[in-house]
Structure 1
Amino acid sequence: MAAVTAVTALAGLSLACWLWLACGQGLFWRTDVRLPPDRPDPAHWPEVAIVVPARDEAAVLPLSLPGLLGQKYPGRARVILVDDHSSDGTAQVAHALAAEIPGGLPLTVTTPPPLPEGWTGKLWAVRHGVELAGEVELLLLTDADIAHGPQTLAALVAGARSQRLDLVSQMARLRTETGWERLIVPAFVYFFAQLYPFRWSNRPGGRTAAAAGGCSLVRREALERAGGVAAIRGAVIDDVSLARAVKRAGGRTWLGLAERPDELAVRSVRPYPGLGPLWRMVSRSAYAQLRHSPVLLLGTVLGLALIYLLPPVATAVGLATGAWPLLAVAAAAWALMTATYLPMTRYYDRPTPAALLLPFTALLYLLMTVDSAVQHYRGRGAAWKGRTY
C-alpha cells in the first residue's frame, strides 16, 4: 500500500505539472501561430538576398533550389548559395539547376575561405554569404534542404513590414513519410514549442527568443546591430542564438509554424529513412541545448520521466492493482498530455490515436539526450558533415 500511495503522489505531481504546462506555458501546444493573414503589400518592396549555406547537398538541391529561384517576388532578389567545400558536386548541381529555370532569380555560387577556429561551418558560410550580399535591406537565411513555395518570400517580407519586425522565422514542415518520421518528427516540433513557446518568443521585450534556422528573414541593419554573424559564430543551435542576439539588441522577432498552402509552403525535403538518422539529428545538439551541464541533464531526465513516462506506467499499475485513485489521477495526466499533443499530430496529418504514443516518443528523446551527453564526453559531440564541434 505504501508503494501505491507513493506512486499516487507522484502521479498527482505529474498531473499538476500538466495543468501548469497546458495553461501556463504560453499555450505552447496550439498550432495557430502563423503569419498574419492580413498582410498588406508594402508600398516599396525592399531588395532581398537569399543566403543558402550548403555542404554536400547535391542530393537535396533538385528538390529545394528550384523553389527559391522561382520566387514570385515583386522587388529585387537574388540567391547566394555558399558551397561549403563540398565533395559531391554541390556547386555544379546548383549551376545546372539555375540553367534549367530561365527567368528565375539570379544565382551566385561561392565558396568561403577555410574554416577558422571558433566558428561552426554553417555560420562561417552564412557570414560569407551575408558579406557578399552587400547593402541589401533584408536577408533570407535558409537551409539547402528547405523547399519554398513561390509566394514564400513575398509573404515573409509583407509580414515583416506590416508588423515592423526585425526577424521573421517560420518553422518548416518536416518530412513525415516513413514510420519513424511520423513517430518522431511531430514530437520534435512539439518539444521545441514547449521549450520556446512561440507566443512568449514573439512578445516585444520578452526574455524568450527563438527562431527556426531553415527559414529566417532578418533585417541587415538589425543583424549588424546584434554584432553580425560573428556574434554567434560558435553556436551549434544557431537559430535560437540568432533570435536572442537580435532581441537583446532591441529588435523585434517573430516565430510561427509554416503555412499549409503549396504557394506558401516551407518544408524540409531531407529524408530520415530510419531511426538512426533521426537519432543523430536530435542527439547532435541535445546536450548543447542543456549547456553541457550534468546538473541540467539529470534534471531533464527526471523531468521527462515524471511528466511523460509516469502517467502511462501509473495507469497500468492502477489497473493491475485496482487502485482507483491512482488510476484516476494517472489517467487524467495522460489524457491531458494527449490533448496537448493532438493539435501537433493534426498539423502533421496523423490520426488521433497517434497522440497516445507521446510517452514512448518521449522515452526515445530521453535516451537521445543521454546519448548526446555520452558522445560529448567521448569527444564526438555536435558532429555534422565530417565536422565535430
Structure 2
Amino acid sequence: MDPLWLVVPGCAIWSAILLLPWRPWSTQPSFDAQVPPAAPDLRDVTVLIPARNEQAGIGKTLRSLANQGQNLRIVLVDDQSTDGTAEAARQCGLPGLSIISGDALPPGWTGKLWAQEQGLRHIESRLVLQLDADIELLPGTIAGLRELMESGNLGLVSLMARLSMDGPWERALMPAFVYFFRLLYPFKLSNSRSRLVAAAAGGCILIRTDILREMGGFGALKGELIDDCTLARMVKKLGHRTWVGLTHSAISHRPYRELGSVWEMVARTAFTQLRHSALLLLFCTVIMLAAFVLPVSALGQSGTTQIVGVVTLALMAMSYIPTLRYYDIPLIWSLTLPLAGVLYLLMTWTSAWRQWVGAGARWKERSYSKLEPHV
C-alpha cells in the first residue's frame, strides 16, 4: 500500500476538527470573576466540599471562600480521612463552616458521591456549590456564577478549573487533558438546549438545590465514576439548561508532577468513558493512531507523503494553540500533542485492562470494581 493513504485519514481528521461549526478547539465560552464593589450577600448559597485526606491543601481552599462574600455557608464532609483534614479545616476558623464526619462507604457508592449525599442532608439554601477540596476560588467567583445562572435561566453552571501546569509532565499533558475533554464534549453543544451532549466539570458546579433533590440527590448518581457529566445529562433531561466553560478563577492546587499521577487520574475513568466497550476501544485506538502516530511517521517518508504529514501536524498544532495561549503555555509545547495523544491512549488501555482483570478503578486508597451505574 502507498504510505500516502496511511497519512490522509489523519489529515482529514484534523481538517474536520478545525472546520466543525461548533469549534471544539475554541477556548470559549469562558468565565472570569469580577471583584464586586461591595461584599455580596451569599446566604442563598451553600458550598459542599467532600474531603478525604486533604490536610495539605484544605486550608487554601477554605481561605479562598472567606473572600467570596457575606453569610456564605460551607458544609465540609470529612470522608473517613486518615490524616488531619478535619483539624486543618477547623483551624481556619471560617464563619459558617460546618464539618461533618462521614460514615463508612456503603456498597455501590463512590466515596465522593457518598460524602456529598451526606452533606446534602444538611443543606437548606436555594443553591449548592459542589467544590473539590483542592480548588481555590478567586474573589467574586461565587457571585459571578450565581449571576450567570440567573441571567441565563440555567439549572447548572460549571467551571473547568485551571489545573496545575508548572512541571514538564504537567505542561505536556494537562493542557491536552482539557483540550481532549472539549473535543469529547464540545462546550457550544453542551451549553445548547440539545440533550445529545451534556458536560460539566465536577470540581466546581453550581446547581439549584430543588433540581438536585428532584433528581433524587446524589443517590441518582451513586454508581457513576464520571458523575459530573452524568449530572449535567440528568439536569437536561429534567428540562433545564446547563453551562460549562473554562476559567482562570477556579484553580486546582493538586500537583501532577509525575507521569504516574496523571496516569492514575486518567486510567480511573477512561474505559468508563467508552462504556466498557472493547469495540469502542478498538475504534478509539484506530482513530488515535491515524491522528497522532501516522502523521509523525510520515516525516520519515519523502515526496507527497512527507508533505501531507507536515500539513497534518500543522493542522493539529493550529487546533491546539488556542488552548496553550489560554493557559499562557509557550507554543513550542504544541509539538508534544502527538506524545500526549499516545500516552492518553495507553492510559485508556490500562483502564480497560484493569476492568477486564477485575481490578476496576482506584482512587484515594479505594477500589471501585463493582459499581452499577443508575442512568
* TM-score bracket, shorter-length normalisation: over 0.9
- Residue among 282, 295, 301 paired with 2:279: 295
Residues 195-206 of structure 1: pairs in structure 2 closer than 5 A: 195-206=184-195
Q: CA deviation at 1:37?
A: 8.7
Match of 1:117 in 2: 107
In the alignment, structure 1 residue 129 sits paired with structure 2 residue 112: no
Which protein has the bigger helix share?
A: 1
- Residue among 287, 292, 299 paired with 1:308: 292
* Maintained 8 Å contact 2:158/2:201: yes
* Maintained 8 Å contact 1:22/1:340: yes
Whole-angstrom distance in 1 between the partners of 2:11 and 2:215: 41
Letter in 1 for 2:198: A
Q: CA deviation at 1:61?
A: 1.0
User: Quick one: percent identity of the two aligned structures?
Assistant: 42
* Maintained 8 Å contact 2:33/2:138: no
Distance 1:45 1:69, change over 3 A: closer
Letter in 2 for 1:22: L
- Residue among 327, 332, 339 paired with 1:348: 327
Distance 1:229 1:247, change over 3 A: same
* Maintained 8 Å contact 1:40/1:158: no
Match of 2:14 in 1: 18
In the alignment, structure 1 residue 72 sits paired with structure 2 residue 56: no
Helix, strand or coil at the partner of 1:80: strand
In the alignment, structure 1 residue 27 sits paired with structure 2 residue 10: no
Whole-angstrom distance in 2 between the partners of 1:293 and 1:269: 33
Helix, strand or coil at the partner of 2:359: coil
Distance 1:388 1:350, change over 3 A: same
Q: CA deviation at 1:165?
A: 0.6
* Maintained 8 Å contact 1:39/1:158: no
How many aligned positions are there? Answer: 366
- Residue among 58, 61, 69 paired with 1:61: 58
TM-score normalised by structure 2 residue count: 0.93
Whole-angstrom distance in 1 between the partners of 2:191 and 2:18: 19
What are structure 2's unaligned runs of at least 5 residues? 369-375
Match of 2:373 in 1: none
Match of 2:233 in 1: 244
Helix, strand or coil at the partner of 1:132: coil
Query: CA-to-partner distance for each residue in 1:127-152, whole Å, 9 max, x for gaps?
Result: 11111112x11000010011111211
In the alignment, structure 1 residue 164 sits paired with structure 2 residue 153: yes
Letter in 2 for 1:64: T
Compute the RMSD of aligned alpha carbons: 2.0
Helix, strand or coil at the partner of 1:350: coil
Helix, strand or coil at the partner of 2:77: strand
TM-score normalised by structure 1 residue count: 0.90
Whole-angstrom distance in 1 between the partners of 2:14 and 2:237: 31
Whole-angstrom distance in 1 between the partners of 2:45 and 2:60: 22
* Maintained 8 Å contact 1:46/1:138: no
